Amino acid sequence: MRRGQLSLDLLFAVTLIAITMLNIIYTANEQITYTQTLDVTARLKIFSIDLRDSIVKAYSVGDGYSLRKQMPFSLNTGDSIIVTLNSTLNVLQINATVNNIQYYIVQNITVPIYTDSRIILNSTTTSFWIDVNRRGDIIYVTFRT
């Protein structure tokens, strides 16, 4: 085997190793991004279930009851979570933008929602109140910061 042949074989082996390492790094980075997205999705889903249950609990206690809720995780600057009670569909809607990714979660509410209510949570506004009020014979739930 000549000297030039050995250099060419070594160069080819180094190139294959470099391509393999780049593929491993790319795959690992892709998996990290997927895991972070899954983590935020799971946290928002748990938050929506907790809110749904808290709304039903507050409604069942009745007029004058207030319940303070805290965001389960912190948001960066530019991130936001919009929590909406939709009386037309009788649902709780959560629209979130976290790390420039949009999330949308809907939870059916088993008690009647008579009034639309909406709050926006961000890096500075991290908690809000669930209030129960009465207007005549109608008990309704609203949000306030």
Is 50 a residue whose pLDDT tops 90?
A: yes
Is 56 a residue whose pLDDT tops 70?
A: yes
Is 105 a residue whose pLDDT tops 90?
A: yes
Residues 17-46, mean pLDDT to the nearest whole number: 90
**DSSP states of 77-124 as a string?**
TT-EEEEEEETTTTEEEEEEEETTEEEEEEEE-SS---S-EEEEE-SS
Is 71 a residue whose pLDDT tops 90?
A: no
Query: CB-based contacts of 62: which residues, under 8 Å, 6+ apart?
Result: 132, 134, 139
Residue 2: pLDDT band with limits 50, 70, 90 = low
User: How far is it, in rounded angstroms, from Cα 60 to Cα 79?
Assistant: 33
The answer to whether residues 133 and 120 touch, using CB atoms and an 8 Å cutoff, is no
The answer to whether residues 99 and 76 touch, using CB atoms and an 8 Å cutoff, is yes
Alpha helices, DSSP H, located in 62-70: none
User: How far is it, in rounded angstroms, from Cα 30 to Cα 35?
Assistant: 9
Average confidence score pLDDT of the chain: 89
